[in-house]
Amino acid sequence: MGLASAALHSRVVVLALSITLGRGDLAGQDRVIQGEPRVGTSKRGLYYSISGRGEPLVLIHGFQTDHREWDEVAAVLGTTRQIIRYDLRGHGRSASAVDAFYPHEDLAGLLEELGVRNADIVGLSAGSNVALELALERAELVRRLVMVSPGIPEIRVNAPREWMRPIGDAVRAGDAKRAAALWWESPMMAGTRARGAAGERYHEVVLDNARIWTQNAAAQQRPAPSPADRLRGLRHPLLIVVGGADVTGSQQQADSILARQPNATRVIVRDAGHMVSTERPAELAGEIDRFLRASRPEEKQSSSFADARGTDTANVLPAPTRAVPIGRITYHWIDSSRAESFAPDSGRRREVLVDVWYPATGAGGRERASYLPNLSLLRSVFDEQGMTRRFAPAYAVMQSGRLRTHTFAGPPAQCPRGGCPVLIFSHGGGVERAFYTAQYEELVANGFVVAAVAHSYLTHAVVFPDGRVVRLAPRDTGVSTPGLPRWRRQAAASWAASIRNTDVAAADIRFVVSQLTRYTEIPDLGAPFARQLDLDRLGALGHSMGGLAAARACQIDRRIKACLNQDGVAANLPLRRDERGRTLQQPFMYFGRVEPVPTPWPDSLLALHEMTRAEEDSILRLRPLQQDSILAMIPSGAWRLRLTAGIATHMSFSDEPLLAAADDSVRRASALRVLALVNRYTVAFFDLTLRGNHSTTLDRRVRPDSGLVSIQRFAPGASR
């Protein structure tokens, strides 16, 4: 139905400023899911398609697409659920928008016609508005709600809209086909176009829906009061999914929704734009499936998982970006092949504690895992003053009730067929292993199993199950270098300590790999992750001393396929050459910081350290060149990432700055920003090297955070 120019212009403005489009990866027709889909047209003129068996799940498409937008997502979810898709009024094969109507009433009428008492509802962009309106107006019809790339008109965002102008011109000229073609070329569809042939299939869907620009804009009604004003009253489990590279304002929308719905869950799909359904269909399907499995209203685990997920603003620890139940179990392992080198007279063999973090089936009625593992045992050994002193700043925040994990103690693991890739994490020297919990949980939320090692004698306190306390070993290595200048003696002692500590920690890492192999291969050992670890995709990482230890373990153990060092250097080197002068064979990343250019020492300090000005000049000149040289020698190639000067400290790779800033909103925001960068690029590196994913943040030429993180790629070299 044609409209006057003013009405068309009104439609453009409403759509451009209020509703963000949903785009789809279409196959041109319904994909077969467990047999041919059942199709029909409702009494209100809505075309629908039903496929699959199980609990009903409704998928609502976005603007200028139709039900085919969900083809790839439905193919995954339809194996265990009944999928109901339909074309919104004015889209696809549904009736045109002529007279006044409410989109949520269209959907309610369809469900009633189909005999569906209630269903899980998923909507993308404009479709998410319909889903939200249904949940607010007809709550009894909705079990759980998923809003993908939300765009609630009443929530204003600051996003560029210049690209809408030529579309508006085409609409005012009465050229709907031109408007649709421009929409396909717009930033909204950039991620879909980037998929090449897979994305090109959706080109047809967008063009097929050109008639939406000729619909009666005044026909579509909005409930009053507005859904934005009623969000606080929403009582359904809510998942919000946004693309990390979305430029339409959906992330700001998500922030606003979470402020009104603090118990909602937010998932950020890295590198995806607005059209998550067509850019990352398998990933989106996985997130929806995990959310629905974890938030079953009839199961006791639902509320506890929702509580643990973290929308609780009182919790200092940020929630992972994906809705994945997480489990943790702690092991005390003894390596009978090694004597305890830090206590040679004790007669003991080397002992470690290991926390294994893993994707779980759900809470399963289990207790929330404490931030400090074995908390009750620690309290039996240390008094309150000792706990506060030894585990600051975490313990004080824990005591205030504001530090809680999003993890449960020992539920069954849930990895995909083929198993989860595994990462071994090594803590910094003298740092409590729990201080990396945000990293562990984010890695698990991205599908990795993480084994966090407590290196006895290399952290300030390890308490074994029998109550023995092992404290940090003295730094003295017994290295004697008489006759050398003071600065050389200090350098020799520091280097010797680094070698001693990293060699011990690297051996611990290798021992843990062997133990994990036993525990996953022998179900009788009772591990919750038995038969679920993919140790052919094994990586190692660590912070500070732990980063050097991870590099050393990679160097001597080919079972480890990739290695990442977070801000760990000795003599400014993130790894050392082995006894034959070689680096390592596996892909390697050094993730550090840009530090201020060191200023020359005054003559008084040079004299104190028995160093000449020429020696100092030589050190300052050669230090950066030596790091470049060793990274360039790695045969599989290397990356060096550096956080911009001034935004991070050495401990920014841990939870410590976040915990210390618990009562300072400005410092907390800064700590969260840096921790998000650390998590994003850590996940990207292992996605690339262990999963073969070549569309990570590391592979993008244009990055929104390029001003915060620099990336330098060292092409594969020749180790010698």
pLDDT digits (tens, 9 = 90+) for 194-253: 998 888 889 999 999 999 998 887 888 887 777 888 888 788 899 999 998 887 788 888
Q: Is 480 exposed, middle or buried (0-12, 13-18, 19+ CB in 10 A)?
A: exposed
CATH number at residue 150: 3.40.50.1820
Instruction: Give the percent of the chain with pLDDT over 70.
Output: 91
- What pLDDT is recorded for position 302? 34
Give the sheet arrangement for strand 420-426, strand by strand.
Answer: 407-409, 326-339, 349-359, 449-455, 420-426, 533-543, 562-566, 588-593, 638-643, 709-714
Is 318 part of any domain? no
Say if residue 279 is in the same domain as residue 399: no
Say if residue 494 is in the same domain as residue 555: yes
Helix (H, G, I), strand (E, B) or coil at 546: helix
Total domains, the chain: 2
- What pLDDT is recorded for position 234? 85
Quick check: 148 and 253 in contact, CB under 8 A? no
Is 310 part of any domain? no
Is 156 part of any domain? yes
Which residue matches tokens 């016609």? 113
Q: Is 368 exposed, middle or buried (0-12, 13-18, 19+ CB in 10 A)?
A: middle
Rounded-to-integer distance, Cα 259 and Cα 274, Å: 21
Assign 11 a pLDDT band (cuts: 50, 70, 90): very low
Quick check: 21 and 125 in contact, CB under 8 A? yes
Say if residue 385 is in the same domain as residue 487: yes
Is 214 part of any domain? no
Is 303 part of any domain? no
Task: Provide the residue range defining the domain that includes 133.
Answer: 22-160+222-298
Is 558 part of any domain? yes
Is 48 part of any domain? yes
Strand partners, 401: none
Last residue of a domain, one of 258, 277, 298: 298
- For 385, phi then psi, to 5°, come to -65, -40
Say if residue 288 is in the same domain as residue 386: no
Closest C-alpha to 449, from 515, 514, 532:
532
What the block records as the tokens of 260 is 């009104």
Rounded-to-integer distance, Cα 327 and Cα 357, Å: 6
Quick check: 349 and 341 in contact, CB under 8 A? no
Query: CA dist 601 to 357, 487, 616, Å?
Result: 46, 13, 8
Say if residue 286 is in the same domain as residue 355: no
Rounded-to-integer distance, Cα 381 and Cα 399, Å: 17
What the block records as the tokens of 136 is 């607010």
pLDDT (mean) for 352-377:
87
Say if residue 269 is in the same domain as residue 399: no
pLDDT (mean) for 277-287:
93
Say if residue 419 is in the same domain as residue 501: yes
Assign 300 a pLDDT band (cuts: 50, 70, 90): very low
Residue 107, pLDDT > 70, answer yes
Say if residue 282 is in the same domain as residue 370: no
> 572 vs 16, which has greater pLDDT?
572
What the block records as the tokens of 118 is 């209630």
- What pLDDT is recorded for position 17? 30
Q: Is 618 exposed, middle or buried (0-12, 13-18, 19+ CB in 10 A)?
A: exposed
Mean pLDDT for all residues in the chain: 86
- What pLDDT is recorded for position 71? 94
Is 201 part of any domain? no
Rounded-to-integer distance, Cα 709 and Cα 717, Å: 24
Assign 117 a pLDDT band (cuts: 50, 70, 90): confident
Quick check: 501 and 573 in contact, CB under 8 A? no
pLDDT (mean) for 86-114:
92
Last residue of a domain, one of 298, 315, 334: 298
Say if residue 387 is in the same domain as residue 278: no
Assign 31 a pLDDT band (cuts: 50, 70, 90): very low
Say if residue 292 is in the same domain as residue 354: no
The residues, ordered by sequence, that sit 6+ positions from 164 with a Cβ below 8 Å of its Cβ are 12, 16, 186
The residues, ordered by sequence, that sit 6+ positions from 324 with a Cβ below 8 Å of its Cβ are 290, 294, 359, 360, 444, 445, 447
Give DSSP secondary structure letters for 582-614: ---SS-EEEEEEPPPPPPPPPHHHHHHTT--HH
- What pLDDT is recorded for position 33? 36
What's the longest Cα–Cα distance across the chain? 96
Assign 406 a pLDDT band (cuts: 50, 70, 90): very high
Instruction: Give the percent of the chain with pLDDT over 90.
Output: 57
> 261 vs 505, which has greater pLDDT?
505
Last residue of a domain, one of 263, 298, 333: 298
Has this prediction a pTM greater than 0.75?
no
Say if residue 356 is in the same domain as residue 501: yes
Say if residue 288 is in the same domain as residue 421: no
CA 323 to chain CA centroid, Å, is 10
